[in-house]
Structures are given as C-alpha cells and as structure tokens.
C-alpha cells in the first residue's frame, strides 16, 4: 500500500499553494499542527483551523470571521480567494460547516447527516435526500447542538463531535464523499471539563476529521 | 490493586466469621436497642422490618471528629457527594432524595437539591439512625432513598463538658509543619452544660469551628475548602409536668461564614473577585407529650425552621457588586401524632399542616416570595401475627397546594426463621415534591457564559416573551414538553436477612431496587441569539438504582471489634438503556473513530460508584484507652459525557476510585479528662478535580474535660 503524507505546520497554512509544490513528504510529528494524511481510501485531516479564536471580548471569544475552505477531491486547503469557485467542497468556521451549494457557493454540492458508523456506510443509501445551504435559515449540515454533527455542553463550555454521525457530502463537482468529524480541539483531544476557559476557547475550532472520497462518480465508498 | 479491594472484603467474610466463633466469652449485657426513626415511634430492634443502621455517641466520639460528614462517610452505602456542599447519596439516589431530620423534623435550606451536611456539628448528638428504603409513608416528601435522623441528648444528670480540637495538614509537603499558602489548620471548640433540677432538664451546647482555606485545584485560585467559620448553639429543655405529661423545647442555631476569594471567568476573560457566603439556620421544636395510659400516647409538635443563605462577590478592580444572591426559606409545621398499643398490635397515626415559604433573588422579579401549603395525614399499623411473624402496613397522603397530591403506601414484613436468622422484606412508595427552585427559578449565570435556568411555571411565558423581543435563536423539542411539574415517584423494594452468627457476630444483607418515574431533569429548551442556552425542568426521566449491601459487625476479642460493609450498585436511566439495547448509541475508539456502544460499556447514572466498602477496627480496654483504624473505598465514577453521545459510558471522563485510611487514638485519664488524636487520610490521597473537598493528610489532637 502506498502511503502519501503531506504535512503542514500551522505557520505555513496561509502559504498553502507554495507547500503543495514540495514533492518530498515532510515528516512533522507535532500533533497540534495541521496535516493531511492518506491511508488507502481514508484521508485524515488534523487541526484544520476554522476561524480560530483571536481574542476575548465583551460578547465572548471571537475569531476574525473567515471560513477555511477544503477540497475533498484534492485532499487539501483552498485559498479563500477561490471561495466563489467550485474548487472547494467544505468550508469551516466555528461549529458551522458549509458545503459548496446554495447560498454558500456556486458548486453542485449538497449534504445530509447519516446516523451510523463511518465503516458501516458502504454506499449512499438510494432513498437519500441531499440538502443544500440556505443561509441563514438552514444549512445542509444543520447548525446547533444535537442537530448536526456536534453536541454542546453549556455549563462545561465544551463542543463534542457526536459519535455515530457521518456527513454524506456531494462535492462541488457532483462526486460523493463520506466525512466523519472526530474532534473540535487542537491536537484532536477535547479538554477536560476542569480545564480553563482560556484553553477551552483558544484550543477550539481546530477540526480533526476523516473522509473517503469516491472520485469515479458512483455512490459506493 | 484498587479493583481487588471489594474481593478482599468479600474474602474476609468467612475468615472473620470463623474467627469470631472461636471467641464467644465476652458478655453481652446490652439492652435491646430501640429505634425511633423507622416506625416513627420507639421500636425494639427485634420489631424492625426495614434496613436500619445506627451510630452511637461512643462511635462518634471515637472517630475524633466534630463534623457529621466525617461520620456518615464511613457508613456502608452512603457516599458524600461534592458540589453545593456535602450531600448524602443513599442507595444510589441523589442527595435530593434523602430526608435529613433533627429529632424527627426536617432540615431545610437545600442548594440545588443538596443539603450541606457540613453545616451540622455533632457536639450534642446522642445517636444517628439511618433508615434505608422509601419512608414517605411516614415522613412524606424527600424520604425516597431513606431517612437520616440526628437525635440529640436529653438532660439526665449534672454535667459540664468542654473540649478543644486542633488539626492541621500540608498536602504539598507531606509531614512538615504547616507553612505557606498550602498549609491549612482547623480548630474546633465545644462545650456542653447539662443539669436536671427536679423535673426540669436543660442542656446548652455550643460548637465553634474554623478551617483555613486551601488551594490545590489546578488553574484556580479558589480555595477549597474555603476559609470557614461555623458556629452552632443548641438549647434543649424538657420538663415533666406530671407522670402523664411532659413538654420539651429544642432550639438550634447554626451560622456559617465562608470567605471567598477566587477568579471568575466570564466568557474566557478572568477577573479576580472576593466576597463572602453566610448561612444561618434556625430550628425550634416545642412539643407536648401526653400519655393517657401505658398504652396510649399523643404528642403535639410545632416546628419552625428558618434558613437564610446569602452570597456576595465583588470584582477586585471594581467596587460595585457583581454577584448578590440571597435565598431564604421558612417552614412552619403543626403536627399531632398518636400511638396506641394493644397486645400484639400497635397503631401510629398523625395529621399535620406545613407552610413552606421561600424567597430568592433567583426567582422572578414580580414576587420573590413563594409559598406552598401541605396538609397531610398518615397511619401505620404494626401487627405481630405470630411469635415469628410481624407485618407493618402504613399509608400517607400529602395534599399540596401547588401541585398534584402524593399517596405513599408501604408494607414491611419480618419473619424470624430462628433465634439467629430473620428475614425482612418491604415495598414502599416514595416521593419528592418539586422544590421552589424547580418551579420558580429565574437565573442567568453571567459569570459562566450567560446561560439561564428557568423554573417550570414561568419558563414558557418568559421564553415566549423573549421570542417576541427577538432574543431567541432557536427553540428545542423539549420546550414543547414543558408543563406543570408533578412529584417524582419511586417504588422501592428492600429484602434481606439479619443473621446473628453468635453472641459477638452479626451479619446483615440487604438487596434493594428503586424504580423512579417522572424524574425531574434539567433540559435545554431554547437558545438565545447570543448562543447562550436556556434550561428548564421537565418530569421526563425514568431510572432505577439497584444493588446489595452487606454489613458485618463482630468482636475478635473482648477488646477488639471489627465492622465491615460493602455495597454493590447498578443504576440506569431506562430510556438510555433502551437506546443502548436497540443499538442506537455510538461512542468513539481511542483513535477518535465512531462505533456502536455495547451494553457493557453503559455506565448508568453519573457520579455513582459500583463498589463501595468500609472496614473498621476498634480496640478499647478497661483503662479508658481506645484506638480505631478505618478504611474507606470507593470505585471509579463517571463525571462528564466526554464522547458527546448523550449518556455516561466507560469511555467518558471519570474520576478514579480511591482508598482512604483514617486512624484515631484516645485515652481517659484522671477520671475527667480524655486526650485524643489521630490522622485522617493517611495515604494523603488527593484529587483536586473530582474530590475538591477531600483534604490531604490531616493530623489532629484534642482534649475533652467532663465533670
């Protein structure tokens, strides 16, 4: 089995295009750094920053309000200048996940949340309905605790990716992928309930997820 | 090693029982013990058909503590919870469901359902009785898991008693003398005067306790325990009017002052704040008792209790108050109880009325004072059908002004198979009425993200109003389930054996199951536009707790006694259990990937340990010397749903099990003096996150004078 690993340090996220030209895989053991690794048909993305916290104000922690765009077909980030194109499939900011369709982008995307395991989803069920983004009223991947992919524990101020939720994505180009969000915190580990609010805020909005992309246009994974 | 402990206790049973049989010379002159709590009337141990534990004054003294918490945590099947003070978890039920009485009357002033037993000093306690299983048929609301009755002394002779106790610890530095911020000391001063002049007896007792603060919780300047002053005064008067009538008055006043100094995090920003919490707690019980004849007795009680708790916090950098919280509760009760005894029967019946009133800054602004009137009647009939067979049936009806009435029947049976072996069994219904907080709370926690909790009565109108004002982002499904709260009901079954192995050894085994319906749960009902959650209360959950308890007491020799207890507990939320069984709940592997949760992984209700055990050795001799060695074990418990699947399972955040060792020693000398000392938590076990109130190793010494 051929393994390709491309790693990026957090500092080089912005200069994504430049990194891609580097053919030699960079071995980066930092568990808190952004990285994409491919293992057979499963691609794992670690520490994808999603409008990370830059400060704490009167209304609480805030980011700069920008989405991070990702291409499931190309296994990598897409520059935000390409947001009006079909180059990206999913976009992340805070707990909001958009797909390239409807009010979010020009693509032919769509999505729904499947209850079950990632491995257990062998193909897109034939009776599936893909939803499209219709911000701010509705999103293909519903916003809110317990509605989409996550559970928010208010008193402990923690966001947990709900187990048993698979995001079934139709990409911008009409291909299919299944995505499982694994964690919302930097390093892929949810802070303990007794961690400080500062850790809970500044380590949040870093997605770890895995996916399988079916590039041949069929619905089988 | 921790896992092996329960097995160790079990393995000990045959050993100690056979050991005990070798030695049966010691004299057993004890009169048969009388229990007042289980039947609400003095009843000999041989006529008790429910599981009962008693703690004598001597046992309390030998433990060398002045706090009730220290005594109760060494009893099998009781666990002292952390959070909103120290609460008592019995038979796996939350502290909300255990009724705590002083001389048969309830203590009030619960915070989030927890009655903080740290408030109670044990200076004048004659005895503590613990009755397990629902006792609502006699006591009404809250007596769902059981009842703890603290019985104070009556004056019988002239006596003066005074004592001082000093303790210190230094969890960081182990053995060295306390120094620096992490050393802490506690001091207790107490005295008691009693006299009997003619037909009037009087006792005045007083206790003052001070403990330094201690900070060892990571990331927090909050000192746990916080520096606390606790004062308790008690007056007991009893007067015999004539051979048939007597009056008594018990008045108790407790006062706590807790100094607070900590960092408040507000949306991730940190401000240092300081302030204080003060609680006053007054109980007054005048009663009149009249015996028509040897077999008929009636008593009137007028109970008044008052609780006032307040908390004020200020920002260090701003003079204006940021947090000003006050809670007051008053309860008046008038009650008559009559007992009548026939040859093989006994009837106990009573009626009463309770006026309960609470006032809180956390209730809505329209009217901060909330009232409820409860009228009730109860009857219990005890019938010795044959020499070996005893049946007790009881029933109670509580009529509530604010919500549905509660009807609580109970039947208990006892069959003496032989002089040594008895079987007991009981089935009863328990209930807990919704408290004022669950009905009227209107609280927004600005110090922690701005979430709100609303009582069920106003939740719908408040949220609807907010929606009109555009403050609500989203309404949850549970919002449509909001309705008037009803009491929570349980059905409890207890059955077991009492086995008198020989003169010196006793064993009791009890198996229990409590099925609870309409459990009130805090659910998110809406989200504000700023993302903060709104919670309210719904009668929604069904749960059970079940388990077995075993207690063994015995004497290895005339001077050396041993007692051991063990409880196995299993709990579940019935809806969660059904979801897990139907394969609809997922969890995560250690690599973060999802998979189905297995039934074995389901952990039931949070904050419960599957295994709890205690072991105690007491040595005492004729010269007034005594020493005790005690150990307490509690297995792992789950604290947070960290995998986000909505229930507690073995992959969630848990607190590790622990083993505590305590030791005490004392000696009477020159007739009037007792010098004692000891060490609590010898192994210096600490768990800053999950056992914030457990101090590290503590060494103490004290002296008592009695004349």
Tell me what pLDDT residue B533 has: 86
- Position A168 confidence tier, pLDDT thresholds 50, 70, 90: very high
> For chain B, what percent of residues have pLDDT higher than 90?
54
Tens-digit pLDDT profile for residues B395-423: 999 998 888 889 999 999 999 999 999 99
Residues of A in contact with B653 (CB under 8 A): 192-193
C-alpha B517/C-alpha B96 separation (Å) is: 15
Smallest CA–CA distance, residue B217 to chain A, in Å, is 9
Residues 6+ apart with CB under 8 A from B376: B140, B351, B352, B353, B354, B396, B397, B398, B399
Task: List the structure tokens of B671.
Answer: 């007739």
- For residues B364 and B646, the model is more confident at B646
Tell me what pLDDT residue B317 has: 65
SS3 content of chain A, % helix, strand, coil (to 5): 10, 40, 50
Tens-digit pLDDT profile for residues B451-503: 889 998 888 988 999 999 988 988 888 898 888 888 999 999 999 999 999 98
DSSP A179-214: EEEEEEEGGG-PPPTTS-HHHHHHTEEEEEEEEEEE
Smallest CA–CA distance, residue A85 to chain B, in Å, is 31
Burial letters B502-512, b for 16+ CB under 10 A, else e: bbbbbbbbbbb
C-alpha A75/C-alpha A72 separation (Å) is: 5
Question: Which phi and psi (to 5°) does residue B222 adopt?
Answer: -65, 125
CA-CA-CA-CA torsion sign (A50, A53, A59, A65): negative
DSSP B203-239: EEEEEEEEE-----STT----SSPPEEEEEEEEEEEE
Tell me what pLDDT residue B260 has: 76
Chain A contact probe: residue of B475, B592, B639, B655 with most A CBs at under 10 A: B592
CA-CA-CA-CA torsion sign (B246, B303, B203, B68): positive
Residues of A in contact with B588 (CB under 8 A): 163, 182
* Nearest residue of chain A to residue B263 (CA atoms): A196
**Average pLDDT for B538-542:** 89
Question: Which phi and psi (to 5°) does residue B483 adopt?
Answer: -155, 180
Query: Given an 8 Å threshold on Cβ–Cβ distance, is A145 in contact with B524?
Result: yes
Tell me what pLDDT residue B85 has: 78
Query: Given an 8 Å threshold on Cβ–Cβ distance, is B219 in contact with A195?
Result: yes
Smallest CA–CA distance, residue A221 to chain B, in Å, is 17
C-alpha B479/C-alpha B373 separation (Å) is: 29
Which residues on neighbouring strands pair with residue B291, listed in sequence order? Answer: B297
- Position A16 confidence tier, pLDDT thresholds 50, 70, 90: very low
Tell me what pLDDT residue B481 has: 86
- Position B64 confidence tier, pLDDT thresholds 50, 70, 90: confident
Which among A53, A150, A163 is the nearest to B586, CB-wise?
A163
ipTM: 0.81
- Position B20 confidence tier, pLDDT thresholds 50, 70, 90: very low
Tell me what pLDDT residue A181 has: 96
Nearest Cα to Cα of residue B509 among B43, B148, B101, B17: B17
B214 pLDDT higher than 90: no
Q: Count of alpha carbons within 13 Å of B400, Cβ hemisphere only? A: 20
- For residues B226 and B319, the model is more confident at B226
Smallest CA–CA distance, residue A56 to chain B, in Å, is 6
**Average pLDDT for B230-250:** 93
Tell me what pLDDT residue B536 has: 92
- Mapping DSSP onto H, E and C, the string for B285-317 reads EEEEEEEEECCEEEEEEEEEEEEEEEEEEEECC
Tell me what pLDDT residue B692 has: 74
- For residues B315 and B297, the model is more confident at B297
In this structure, the number of other CB atoms found within 10 A of the CB of residue A10 comes to 17
Nearest Cα to Cα of residue B691 among B210, B86, B2: B86
- Position B17 confidence tier, pLDDT thresholds 50, 70, 90: very low
Q: For residues B283 and B115, is the Cβ–Cβ distance under 8 A?
A: no
Tell me what pLDDT residue B259 has: 82
- Position B370 confidence tier, pLDDT thresholds 50, 70, 90: confident
Task: List the structure tokens of B235.
Answer: 């007056």
**Average pLDDT for A55-83:** 89
Mean pLDDT of all residues belonging to chain A: 85
Q: Tell me the domain boundaries of chain A.
A: 49-214
Which among B217, B524, B644 is the nearest to A163, CB-wise?
B644
**Average pLDDT for B545-562:** 95
Tell me what pLDDT residue B366 has: 63
In this structure, the number of other CB atoms found within 10 A of the CB of residue B24 comes to 13
B179 pLDDT higher than 60: no
Q: Which of B185-194, B213-222, B509-518, B522-531 reaches the highest mean pLDDT? A: B509-518
Q: Which residue has the tokens 């050795």?
A: B617
Task: List the structure tokens of B82.
Answer: 């952390």
A30 pLDDT higher than 60: yes
E-strand stretches of B342-385: 345-360, 369-384
**Average pLDDT for A95-104:** 95
């Amino acid at each position: 089995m051929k393994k390709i690993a491309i790693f990026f340090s957090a500092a080089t996220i912005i200069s994504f295009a430049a990194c891609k030209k580097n053919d030699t895989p960079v071995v980066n053991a930092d568990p808190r750094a952004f990285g994409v690794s491919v293992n057979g048909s499963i691609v794992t993305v670690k520490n994808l920053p999603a409008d990370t916290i830059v400060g704490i104000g009167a209304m609480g922690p805030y980011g700069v309000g920008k989405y991070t765009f990702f291409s499931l077909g190309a296994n990598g980030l897409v520059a935000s200048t390409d947001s009006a194109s079909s180059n990206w499939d999913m976009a992340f900011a805070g707990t909001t996940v958009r797909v390239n369709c409807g009010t979010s982008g020009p693509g032919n995307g769509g999505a729904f949340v499947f209850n079950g395991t990632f491995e257990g989803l062998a193909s897109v069920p034939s009776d599936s309905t893909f939803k499209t983004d219709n911000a701010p009223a509705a999103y293909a991947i519903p916003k809110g605790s317990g509605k989409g992919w996550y559970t928010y524990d208010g008193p402990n101020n923690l966001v947990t990716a709900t187990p048993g939720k698979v995001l079934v994505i139709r990409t911008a180009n009409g291909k299919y992928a299944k995505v499982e969000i694994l964690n919302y915190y930097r390093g892929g580990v949810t802070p303990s309930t007794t961690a400080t609010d500062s850790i809970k805020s500044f380590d949040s909005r870093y997605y770890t997820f895995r996916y399988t992309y079916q590039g041949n246009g069929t619905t089988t994974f | 090693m921790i896992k092996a402990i329960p097995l160790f206790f079990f393995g000990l049973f045959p050993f100690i029982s056979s050991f005990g049989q070798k030695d049966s010379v010691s004299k057993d002159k004890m009169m048969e013990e009388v229990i007042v709590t289980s039947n609400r009337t003095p009843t000999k141990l041989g006529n008790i058909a429910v599981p009962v534990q008693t703690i004598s004054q001597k046992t309390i003294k030998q433990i060398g503590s002045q706090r009730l918490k220290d005594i109760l945590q060494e009893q099998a099947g009781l666990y002292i919870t952390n959070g909103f003070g120290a609460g008592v978890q019995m038979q796996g039920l939350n502290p909300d469901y255990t009724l705590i009485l002083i001389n048969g009357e309830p203590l009030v002033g619960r915070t989030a359902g927890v009655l903080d037993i740290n408030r109670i000093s044990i200076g004048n306690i004659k005895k503590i009785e613990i009755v397990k299983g629902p006792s609502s048929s006699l006591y009404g609301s809250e007596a769902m898991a059981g009842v703890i009755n603290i019985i104070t002394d009556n004056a019988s002779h002239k006596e003066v008693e005074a004592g001082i106790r000093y303790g210190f610890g230094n969890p960081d530095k182990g053995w060295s003398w306390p120094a620096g911020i992490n050393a802490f000391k506690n001091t207790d001063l107490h005295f008691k005067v009693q006299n009997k002049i003619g037909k009037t007896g009087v006792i005045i007792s007083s206790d003052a306790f001070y403990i330094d603060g201690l900070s060892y919780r990571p990331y927090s300047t909050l000192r746990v325990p916080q520096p606390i002053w606790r004062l308790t005064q008690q007056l007991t008067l009893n007067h015999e009017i004539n051979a048939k009538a007597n009056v008594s008055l018990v008045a108790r006043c407790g006062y706590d002052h807790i100094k607070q100094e900590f960092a408040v995090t507000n949306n991730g920003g940190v401000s240092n704040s300081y302030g204080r919490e003060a609680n006053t707690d007054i109980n007054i019980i005048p009663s009149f008792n009249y015996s028509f004849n040897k077999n008929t007795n009636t008593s009137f009680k007028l109970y008044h209790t008052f609780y006032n708790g307040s908390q004020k916090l200020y920002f260090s950098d701003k003079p204006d108050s940021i947090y000003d919280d006050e809670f007051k509760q008053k309860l008046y009760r008038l009650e008559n109880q009559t007992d009548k005894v026939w040859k093989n029967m006994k009837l106990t019946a009573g009626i009463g009325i309770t006026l309960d009133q609470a006032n809180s800054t956390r209730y809505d602004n329209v009217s901060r004072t909330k009232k409820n009137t409860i009228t009730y009647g109860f009857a219990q009939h005890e019938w010795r059908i044959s020499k070996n067979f005893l049946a007790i049936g009881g029933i109670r009806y509580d009529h509530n002004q604010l919500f549905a009435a509660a009807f609580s029947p109970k039947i208990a049976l006892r069959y003496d198979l032989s002089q040594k072996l008895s079987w007991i069994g009981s089935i009863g219904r328990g209930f807990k009425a919704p408290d004022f907080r669950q009905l009227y709370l209107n609280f927004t926690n600005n110090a922690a993200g701005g979430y709100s909790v609303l009582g069920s009565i106003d939740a719908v109108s408040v949220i609807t109003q907010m929606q009109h004002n555009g403050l609500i982002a989203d309404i949850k499904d549970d919002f449509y389930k909001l309705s008037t709260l009803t009491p929570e009901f349980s059905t409890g079954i207890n059955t077991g054996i009492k086995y008198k192995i020989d003169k010196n050894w006793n064993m009791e085994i009890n198996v229990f199951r409590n099925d609870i319906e309409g459990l009130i749960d805090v659910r998110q009902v809406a989200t504000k536009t700023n993302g903060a959650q709104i919670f309210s209360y719904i009668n929604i959950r069904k749960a059970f707790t079940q388990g077995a308890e075993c207690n063994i007491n015995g004497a290895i020799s005339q001077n050396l006694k041993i007692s051991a207890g063990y409880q196995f507990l299993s709990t579940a939320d019935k809806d969660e259990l059904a979801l897990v069984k139907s394969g609809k709940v997922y969890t995560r592997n250690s690599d973060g990937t999802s998979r189905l949760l297995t039934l074995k992984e389901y952990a039931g209700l949070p904050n419960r340990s599957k295994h709890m055990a205690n072991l105690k050795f007491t040595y005492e001799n004729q010269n007034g010397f005594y020493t005790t060695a005690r150990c307490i074990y509690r297995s792992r418990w789950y604290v947070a749903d960290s995998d986000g699947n909505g229930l507690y399972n073995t992959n969630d955040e848990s607190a590790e099990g622990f083993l505590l060792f305590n030791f005490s020693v004392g000696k009477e000398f020159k007739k009037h003096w007792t010098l004692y000392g000891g060490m609590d938590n010898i192994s210096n076990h600490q768990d800053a996150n999950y056992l914030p109130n457990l101090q590290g190793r503590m060494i103490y010494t004290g002296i008592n004078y009695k004349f």
